Amino acid sequence: MSKTLIIAEKPSVATDLARVLGKELGKFTRDKSGSFYQNDKAIITSAVGHLLEQKKPMTEGGKSLPWKFDYLPVIPKSFELEPIKQSEDRLKKVLQLAKSKDVTEIVNACDAGREGELIFHNLVRYGKWTKPARRLWMQSMTDEAILNAWHSMRSEADMQPLTNAAVCRSESDWLIGLNSTRALTILQSRGGFSVTPAGRVQTPTLAILTQRELEIQAFEPEPYSEVWADFGVQSGVYSGRWIDRDWKKNDNPHSRAERIWDSALATVIRDRCRGKSGTVTEEKKPVTTIAPLLYDLTSLQREAANRYGFSAKRTLQLAQECYEKHKVLTYPRTDSRYLPEDYLGKVYGIVGAVAEENAEFAPFARDILDNKRVKPNRRVFDTKKVSDHFAIIPTGKIEKLSGDVQKLFEMVMARFLAVFFPPAVFEDTRRTTLIDHRDGVTDAFLTTGRVLVEPGWQAVYGRKAGSS
């Protein structure tokens, strides 16, 4: 009987696939070695990330390439692959299963992205597979998402552009990294050998950090003064800061209307205003703010760092755990902050699940449903702004979480619900207190304030009307 070989990227995903697909294909049994699952219709196995890598450069005699300028640049006619030593046993097992006479089709179930494409493509190329293949493209790891992906698998032709992009990036990384690293190392090793690594991502990032550090070191602080005053009124006391009403932007990047660069002048202003009364003018105007866009990985990492001090790596680990282990979030390695336009129905279902099962966020989910807020909106649904993956959102599965995982999940849940709420409305107040002097000089003190009038999307974050 012919079988389909399904290759996941990680053993844990292979386990999930066996559990979920077993409902349709028949129960899977695990091999004694623990490296694959099988039944009469399919075999499910996995890589452990990358099993192959670009072959290191060698001389024509098969020796390691000397670290000399004479051998640079290294530009191979073709990029050969070699096994990664730590995972050679796993590679042998995957290749053995693929060559089995029972296997007539191979399914790529690696992570949905460029790296997943590259892992599978390298296996096909190294193993010289000619059997037909299809792509199991899973945006989340819920049972429903896996089954939907199984019933709507993509063809090799559909995935070819992404595969080409993955191969191109991998080979360009090899060319840039290897040649740049060797060139810099040779230059720096006059007094002894010390590898100086360089690469597509690392080098420009270090350049940005270096430029910023040089700017910090070159900064020369300039002392300035500010004058503050407390004004007593019937209802209490308010503070104001002196401003130069004639101030205009100039070449000094540190110049501000409230900064006084002459400390003696600040003392004069303080002394002449002390004990004086002023006249007040006040301007009020409404200001609206809309909810921020859904998270992509970068914005999630940035906000998690600001809010909880998580490193970028830690945030990715937590998001990956929410996606892979708990199945409460969609695929995290995305650069999009939008959802496909045909995802409205799915979003409605997710909000409905939150309204029924998540006590903390249920009131907000019910508000969205009661007021029919899930509707076409370019700030949320825009297929043109979705590449490989859409924004990170909840899957609708509710599971008891704890610790940092719970914190990250709540961040994504709150952002997801907030985008369907109306704008928050604030009332901004600008109060100017003028103190007139006999010599015709007038000093102005500015007091600003903001009060939340209509919480809108900020209600999801616990803000109430009347708060500042």
The domain spanning residue 263 has which CATH number? 2.70.20.10
Mark whether 340 and 415 lie in a shared domain.
yes
List beta partners, residue 410.
none
**C-alpha dist (Å) from residue 326 to 136, 188, 237, 314, 399:** 20, 48, 53, 17, 7
* Per-residue pLDDT at 192: 64
**C-alpha dist (Å) from residue 12 to 16, 20, 147, 158, 198:** 6, 13, 17, 26, 34
Please tell me what DSSP assigns to residue 293. Answer: P
* Per-residue pLDDT at 140: 87
Mark whether 279 and 233 lie in a shared domain.
yes
Residue of 37, 323, 331, 338 with catalytic role: 331
Mark whether 164 and 192 lie in a shared domain.
no
* Per-residue pLDDT at 188: 83
Answer whether 126's CB lies under 8 Å from 81's CB: yes
Q: Cα dihedral sign for 130, 134, 137, 142? A: negative
Residue holding tokens 């040649």? 179
* Beta-strand pair 3-8/42-46: parallel
- Alpha-carbon distance of 341 to 382, in angstroms, equals 6
Name the domain count of the chain: 4
Q: Which two tokens stand for residue 169?
A: 């990036």
- Alpha-carbon distance of 259 to 266, in angstroms, equals 9
List beta partners, residue 46.
8
* Per-residue pLDDT at 189: 74
* Per-residue pLDDT at 190: 67
Can you give the CATH number for the domain in which 305 is found? 1.10.290.10
Residue 410 placed within a domain: yes
Task: Please provide the distance, in angstroms rounded to a whole number, between the alpha carbons at the two ends of the chain.
Answer: 70
Mark whether 347 and 405 lie in a shared domain.
yes
Residue 433 placed within a domain: yes
Mark whether 309 and 395 lie in a shared domain.
yes
Q: Is the pTM here over 0.95, yes or no?
A: no
The residues, any chain, with a CB within 8 Å of residue 451's CB and separated by 6 or more, are 426, 427, 429, 466, 467, 468
* Per-residue pLDDT at 187: 87
In the residue annotation, 295 being an active-site residue is answered as no
Residue 214 placed within a domain: yes
Mark whether 211 and 244 lie in a shared domain.
no
Mark whether 194 and 311 lie in a shared domain.
no
Mark whether 102 and 126 lie in a shared domain.
yes
* Per-residue pLDDT at 126: 97
Answer whether 415's CB lies under 8 Å from 457's CB: no
Residue 210 domain boundaries: 182-218
Mark whether 34 and 120 lie in a shared domain.
yes
Q: How many CA atoms lie within 13 A of 274 on its CB side?
A: 6
Q: How many CB atoms lie within 10 A of CB 219?
A: 9
Low-confidence ranges of the chain (pLDDT < 50): none
Can you give the CATH number for the domain in which 65 is found? 3.40.50.140
Mark whether 349 and 376 lie in a shared domain.
yes
Please name which of 80, 101, 91, 78 lies closest in space to residue 45, comparing C-alpha atoms.
91
Residue 8 placed within a domain: yes
Mark whether 411 and 436 lie in a shared domain.
no
The residues, any chain, with a CB within 8 Å of residue 70's CB and separated by 6 or more, are none
Residue 468 placed within a domain: no
Residue 10 placed within a domain: yes
**C-alpha dist (Å) from residue 337 to 138, 213, 345:** 18, 31, 18
Residue 223 placed within a domain: no
Residue 467 placed within a domain: no
Mark whether 370 and 243 lie in a shared domain.
no
